[in-house]
Structure 1
Amino acid sequence: VQLLHLSEEPQTQSDLHHRLDGSVRFDTDGSGQPVTWDSFGIWDNRIEEPVLLPSSIRYGKPIPQVSLSRVGCASVLGLRKQNEDRLRVARIHDNLLYFAVFDGHGGPHAADYCYTFMEKFIRDALEEEDDLEKVLKKAFLDADKALHTHLMPDQPHVVHSVPGTTATVAMLRDGVELVVGSAGDSRAMLCRKGRAQKLTADHTPDRKDERLRIQRHGGFVTWNSVGQANVNGRLAMTRSIGDFHLKDSGVIAEPDTTRIMVQHANDSFLTLTSDGINFLLSDQEICDVINQCPDPTEAAQVIAEQALQYGSDDNASILIVPFGAWGKHQSSASTYSMSRNFSSSGRWA
Structure 2
Amino acid sequence: MLHTARFLCSVSAAFARLLRELRKLLIRASAFSPVVASLPKAAAASSPAAGVISAMTLPLRRKTPAAAASVVAIQKQVLVVAPPPTAVLVGAEVPNVVGGCSDDATEQQAESKKKKTAWAARRRPSRLVIPVADVDAGEVAAGWAAAAAASAKEADLKEVEGEGFRLASRAGLRHAMEDAYAVVTDKHGGDSELAFYGVFDGHGGRAAVDFVSERLARNVVSAVLAAGTETQGEPRSSSAEEEDAVSAAIRAAYLATDNELLAQHQGESGGACATTALVRGGHLYVAHVGDCRAVLSRDSTAAALTVDHTCAREEERERIEREGGYVCRSGSGVWRVQGRLAVSRAFGDGALKRWVVADPAVTRVALDARCEFLVIASDGLWDKVSNQEAVDAVSTSPATACRELVDMARHRGSRDDVTVMVVDLGRFVR
TM-score relative to the length of structure 1: 0.68
In 2, the alpha carbon distance for the partners of 1:229 and 1:73 equals 31
1:323 Cα offset (Å): 2.7
Which stretch of structure 1 is more off in the superposition, 163-172 or 84-93? Answer: 84-93
In 2, the alpha carbon distance for the partners of 1:189 and 1:80 equals 26
Contact 2:183 2:217 in 1 (8 A): no
Contact 1:133 1:180 in 2 (8 A): no
Which stretch of structure 1 is more off in the superposition, 222-231 or 303-312? Answer: 222-231
In 2, the alpha carbon distance for the partners of 1:136 and 1:143 equals 11
Residue 264 of structure 2 aligns with which residue? Answer: 150
* Letter aligned with residue 380 of structure 2: G
Residue 73 of structure 1 aligns with which residue? Answer: 167
Counterpart secondary structure, 2:426:
coil
Residue 172 of structure 1 aligns with which residue? Answer: 279
Q: Point out the structure with the larger helix share.
A: 2
Equivalence map 1:60-99=2 (5 Å): 68-91=162-185, 93=188, 94-99=192-197
Q: Which of 338, 350, 362 does residue 257 from structure 1 map onto?
A: 362
Contact 1:89 1:99 in 2 (8 A): yes
Residue 54 of structure 1 aligns with which residue? Answer: none
* Letter aligned with residue 299 of structure 1: A
Identity of aligned residues (%): 35
Equivalence map 1:86-235=2 (5 Å): 86-91=180-185, 93=188, 94-130=192-228, 131-152=245-266, 159=267, 161-174=268-281, 176-235=282-341
* Letter aligned with residue 252 of structure 1: V
Which stretch of structure 1 is more off in the superposition, 88-97 or 135-144? Answer: 88-97
Contact 1:68 1:90 in 2 (8 A): no
Per-residue CA deviations over 1:162-201 (Å, capped at 9, x if unaligned) read 1100011100114x31001111110111000111011111
Greater RCO, CA 8 A, separation 6+: 1
1:127 Cα offset (Å): 4.8
In 1, the alpha carbon distance for the partners of 2:225 and 2:426 equals 30
In 2, the alpha carbon distance for the partners of 1:100 and 1:120 equals 11
Counterpart secondary structure, 1:81:
coil
1:75 Cα offset (Å): 0.9
* Letter aligned with residue 261 of structure 1: A
The 1:125/1:236 distance shift into structure 2, 3 A limit, reads same
Q: Is the counterpart of residue 324 in structure 1 residue 426 in structure 2?
A: yes
Counterpart secondary structure, 1:83:
coil
* Letter aligned with residue 422 of structure 2: I
Counterpart secondary structure, 1:171:
strand
In 2, the alpha carbon distance for the partners of 1:115 and 1:170 equals 13
Runs of at least 5 residues in structure 1 that lack an aligned partner in the other structure: 1-66, 153-158, 326-349
1:68 Cα offset (Å): 4.3
In 2, the alpha carbon distance for the partners of 1:275 and 1:241 equals 16
RMSD: 1.8
1:89 Cα offset (Å): 1.3
TM-score relative to the length of structure 2: 0.56
Q: Which of 384, 394, 407 does residue 290 from structure 1 map onto?
A: 394
Per-residue CA deviations over 1:47-75 (Å, capped at 9, x if unaligned) read xxxxxxxxxxxxxxxxxxxx942411011
Residue 11 of structure 1 aligns with which residue? Answer: none
Contact 2:380 2:417 in 1 (8 A): yes
Contact 2:335 2:342 in 1 (8 A): yes
1:220 Cα offset (Å): 1.0
In 1, the alpha carbon distance for the partners of 2:222 and 2:212 equals 14
Counterpart secondary structure, 2:320:
helix
The 1:244/1:149 distance shift into structure 2, 3 A limit, reads same
1:121 Cα offset (Å): 1.4
Runs of at least 5 residues in structure 2 that lack an aligned partner in the other structure: 1-160, 229-244
Contact 1:191 1:287 in 2 (8 A): yes
The 1:314/1:261 distance shift into structure 2, 3 A limit, reads same
Counterpart secondary structure, 1:98:
strand
Which stretch of structure 1 is more off in the superposition, 77-86 or 89-98? Answer: 89-98
Contact 2:299 2:370 in 1 (8 A): yes
The 1:228/1:266 distance shift into structure 2, 3 A limit, reads same
In 2, the alpha carbon distance for the partners of 1:127 and 1:99 equals 16
Per-residue CA deviations over 1:311-346 (Å, capped at 9, x if unaligned) read 001001111012339xxxxxxxxxxxxxxxxxxxxx
Contact 2:196 2:221 in 1 (8 A): no
In 2, the alpha carbon distance for the partners of 1:271 and 1:89 equals 14
In 2, the alpha carbon distance for the partners of 1:127 and 1:322 equals 23
Q: Is the counterpart of residue 305 in structure 1 residue 403 in structure 2?
A: no
Counterpart secondary structure, 1:167:
strand
Per-residue CA deviations over 1:8-32 (Å, capped at 9, x if unaligned) read xxxxxxxxxxxxxxxxxxxxxxxxx
* Letter aligned with residue 285 of structure 1: E
Q: Is the counterpart of residue 243 in structure 1 residue 346 in structure 2?
A: no
1:79 Cα offset (Å): 0.8
* Letter aligned with residue 212 of structure 1: E
1:216 Cα offset (Å): 1.1
Equivalence map 1:38-49=2 (5 Å): none
